[in-house]
Structure 1
Amino acid sequence: MDVRMAARCSLAMIRLVNGAAALLTPRVMARRLGADPGRPALVYVLRMFGVRTVVIGAQLLCPADSDDLDRALRTGTLIHASDALAAACAGREGLLPHRMAAATTAISTVNVALTLVARGWPGRPPDVR
């Protein structure tokens, strides 16, 4: 397995685990974020995040061709970059505890790096294997 494939598989697993946790146990995730797990809107948002994250994880494991994989990785780069920015802003504004904001920002930043490595950035489109 080459570095690009390892990055792609690692990113897929991170997405699937985090997405499934948010989808299936949103109240646990809310507590880990330092939020009130009794807020129905938060549970709803975490489940939406979970669905999104599972779908983008599955796209990395089951691409139809290299164009689909490249599109999924490019989209993932933007998604994870916006997640990192949102987490950093939430920490700065006091909407998340600073430690949790730092952790979620770091996770999303690692995910951005994994998408770039999986794409062979800068360079050629990813191989579908």
Structure 2
Amino acid sequence: MDARTAARHALAGIRLVNGAAALLTPRMMARRLGADPEQPALVYVLRMFGVRTVVLGAQLLCPADADELDRLLRTGTLIHASDALAAACAGRNGLLPCRMAAAATAISTVNVALTLVARGRPCRPPEGSPS
């Protein structure tokens, strides 16, 4: 297995595990984040995050073709970068305990790196678009 495939499978595994945990055990995830696990809105949001993340992980395991895989990985880079930024901001603003914010930021940053390795080439604008 080459590095690109290994990175894609690692990313799919991380997404599936984290997504399933948020979907199936949102109260436990809330406690780990330092939040009130009895907040119904938080349980709802964690389940939505879980569904999104499981779908993203599953898509990486069986893309239709190389173009779809490239699209999934480009989208994943943006998703994980925004997740990392959101976690860092939440920690900075005191919305998450510093330790949890740092862990969430690190996980999402690793996911960004995995999307870039799985793509195997630098991101560049599409043909015909201004540079």
TM-score, L = length of structure 2:
0.93
Pairwise CA distance, 1:121: 2.4
* Residue 126 (structure 1) aligns with: none
- Deviations along 1:8-48, one digit per CA (max 9) or x if unpaired, are 00000000000000000000000000000000000000000
Pairwise CA distance, 1:114: 0.1
* Residue 126 (structure 2) aligns with: none
Matching of residue 107 in structure 1 with residue 107 in structure 2 = yes
Match for 2:92: what amino acid? R
Pairwise CA distance, 1:82: 0.2
d(CA) in 1 for partners of 2:97, 2:53: 23
Q: Give the RMSD, CA atoms, in angstroms.
A: 0.8
Structure 1 gap ranges (5+)? 124-129
Structure 2 gap ranges (5+)? 124-131
d(CA) in 2 for partners of 1:16, 1:30: 18
- Deviations along 1:103-126, one digit per CA (max 9) or x if unpaired, are 000000000000000000227xxx
Identity among equivalent pairs (%): 86
* Residue 63 (structure 2) aligns with: 63
* Residue 53 (structure 1) aligns with: 53
Counting only pairs closer than 5 Å after superposition, residues 110-129 of structure 1 correspond to structure 2 as 110-122=110-122
d(CA) in 2 for partners of 1:51, 1:10: 18
* Residue 12 (structure 2) aligns with: 12
* Residue 127 (structure 1) aligns with: none
d(CA) in 1 for partners of 2:62, 2:83: 23
* Residue 44 (structure 2) aligns with: 44
Counting only pairs closer than 5 Å after superposition, residues 23-42 of structure 1 correspond to structure 2 as 23-42=23-42
Kindly tell me the number of residue pairs found equivalent between the two proteins.
123
